[in-house]
Chain A
Amino acid sequence: MTMEKMLATYEFEQWLYREAKLLDDIDFDGWFSLMHPSLKYQMPVRVNKEGIERPDYALDMFAFDDDIELLKIRVDRLKTDYAWAEIPPSRTRRLVNNVRLLDYVPDEKAVVNSYLMIYRSRSTDIHHDLISGERHDEFIFENGEWKLSKRFFIVDQTTINTRNLAIFV
């Protein structure tokens, strides 16, 4: 690995940590400001296939399939007084690791894969939900900042063991 790629990998790790912190701190506006207007935010439905046939996720059905406008609706909704699913907000802890820089053009674009584990605790529940999966992210460099232009989150369960996805992945 070149020094340049090492530094870039570090930079994206820090980007993802910061993103995790914003979401876990319920700073949705702060989080939303990390997005590029061309955003594609997708979470395909995972399926059980025979043997090792791949891909083992749907190409035509998603739990999230947002562009920037739809994501804005979700963020705005969470700020109304009626977004019961997150009143009070879930306590979440996003653990991001196995960050790998797959493609990198300085000051232009990057492709980053990472693993994500979300711990979610609601209200007084003594049980918690764990949501794990892999992110395929793409970034565009604009006005001196890296913005997320694509997120493709491949969840590790075919039946998602959390009551809803009122949280972001």
Chain B
Amino acid sequence: MYKTNINLEEMSQKEAIEYLNETVQPETGSIPAYLLGDPTIYDLEHKKVFLKTWIFIGHESEIPNKNDFITRDVAGYSVIISRGADNQIRGLYNMCTHRGMKLCRADAGNKSLFTCPYHGFNFKNNGDCVGVPLQKDIYGDSLDKSQLGLHKIRVESYKGLLFGTWNDEAESLEVFLGDFKWYIDIFAGRAEMEVMGPPQRFVIHSNWKIGADNFVGDSYHTMVTHGSIAKLGMVPSATYSKKGYQIHTTNGHGLNLGTPNPDFAFPEELKEEYKSNLTVEQYEVLSNLKNMIGNIFPNLSFLISHTKIKGQLISNTSMRIWRPISVDKMEVITWFLVEKNAPEDWKRRSRESFILTFSPSGIFEQDDTEVFTDITAAASGTMPLVKQLSFNYTMGLHRKPVTEFVGPGVVYDDKFTEANQRNFYRYWLDLMTK
């Protein structure tokens, strides 16, 4: 039995890790509630997860031109993601190296030079310090500007998706994504994709893992939480979300693949483009896709959704991160992606369906947020820890993966299982206890 006077705050880091190892049991489907509400866990996550892994930043199409930049957050730190005059994409810590002032306060723009608002130090968008006001006069010849370049963050991309990490020892992005790339190809690499507009941002009083958990494998909730959608006739039935496959790979990544679909969910005009970007097997999956919901560890969730709006079927593709703000609060940042070469009317309708379903006003989105908030409230504080409350993640434990599926990973036929959530928490636990 565990101690009942447990207090993570008073434990050493080593003891807290031991306690995690004792109490978090992904393989048998037992996940304690305190993971969602304990500040010690949250602090440890910042160090062990968010400072260690690849974190999603944005899409290359957000900075299409030379000197375009966006500012984004990586593990709580603002970074400038800039496309240099040499067309190379770089990540720079948004902090003046002289005294630490934030260099750039805009969300996006086009600039080759950043000037610090404090003392006016100048930095090129490759990070070089190129100007110090009155330098000769006040420093003489003693200041070596080459030592004052902006701090860099590692940035790598896959199929247009940009990720950053503060961990110089982290494996390459492609290795980190591993077999999951096969599915990312379908999601983000099926055609030339572009982000339309700026991302949408809103705050939910929720622990970030609830969002990741929901997207990585929880199609079960759609019957009830999103029951209104079936009532409105936007999807055929409440159990619509059951059919398909649940798939996960190493490093906690996972997705639910809704299939089959009698209709082609994407613009017919682009079939050749899809075929040229995908393997025969990937194209077959795309052709039969009715939806795709997944999570790239830790907090990038993605979605292809196909619904009937105003009597017409239309799909929309979106991504969101669950950016932790505190143990019980997160910022949701949502991007809408669309095929660049799709007909204008298709793009317009796809955006319309995204806004109606998965923007902050989205009629799918909003019911989830209600759930996330209440789970977080119930898991917070000391009681769930001392009373050892835990959640049941045993769905599908009795089932065996299928072997005949065309894509890689551990695959279950039928989406109603919690294998992906167990896989998510297994990798999370591995990182936390490393």
Contact = CB atoms under 8 A, between A and B. Distances in A.
Contact of A48 (B107, B204, B225, B228): B107
Contacts of A61: 196-198, 200, 336, 351
Nearest to A169: B361
A65 B360 CA distance: 12
Nearest to B335: A61
Contacts of A65: 351-352, 355
A80 B361 CA distance: 17
A25 interface: no
Given A80-B232, A82-B227, A164-B361, A47 B198 contact: yes
B105 A63 contact: no
B373 A163 contact: yes
Contacts of A66: 356
Interface in A50-92: 50, 58, 60-66, 69-70, 73-74, 76-77, 80-85, 87
Contact of A77 (B109, B360, B363): B363
A73 B369 contact: no
Interface string A153-164: 000001111111
Interface string A136-148: 0000000000000
Contact of B371 (A69, A83, A84): A84
Interface string B131-142: 000000000000
B232 A163 contact: no
A82 B367 contact: yes
A163 B228 CA distance: 19
A23 interface: no
B185 interface: no
A163 B203 contact: yes
B201 interface: yes
A150 B331 CA distance: 30
Interface string A17-59: 0000000000000000000000000010101111000000010
A76 B405 CA distance: 40
B61 to A, nearest CB: 13
Contacts of A43: 361
Interface centre among A82, A83, A87 (most CB of B within 10 A): A82
B369 A164 contact: yes
Interface residues of A, number: 37
Nearest to B226: A82
A59 to B, nearest CB: 8
A166 interface: yes
Interface residues of B, number: 44
A127 B198 CA distance: 29
Interface in A69-128: 69-70, 73-74, 76-77, 80-85, 87, 127
Contact of A159 (B104, B202, B225, B371): B202
A42 to B, nearest CB: 10
Nearest to B201: A159
B192 interface: no
Contacts of B309: 70, 73
Nearest to B108: A47
Given A60-B196, A83-B228, A159-B201, A49 B107 contact: yes
Nearest to A158: B201
Contacts of A63: 200, 355, 359-361
A88 B362 CA distance: 18
Contacts of A85: 366-367, 369-370
A3 interface: no
B106 interface: yes
A87 B356 CA distance: 19
Contacts of B104: 50
B359 A62 contact: yes
Contact of B228 (A70, A80, A161): A80
A84 B310 CA distance: 23
A166 B361 contact: yes
B190 interface: no
Interface in B152-207: 196-205
Contact of A160 (B203, B225, B336): B203
A85 to B, nearest CB: 4
A6 interface: no
Given A62-B359, A83-B228, 14 more contacts: A43-B361, A50-B111, A60-B197, A61-B196, A61-B197, A69-B310, A77-B232, A83-B367, A159-B331, A163-B202, A163-B370, A164-B362, A164-B370, A166-B366
15 contacts: A47-B107, A58-B198, A65-B352, A69-B310, A77-B232, A80-B231, A84-B225, A85-B369, A87-B370, A158-B107, A159-B201, A164-B204, A164-B362, A164-B365, A164-B369
List the 3 shortest-distance A-B pairs measured between CB atoms, nearest first: A61-B197, A82-B227, A164-B366
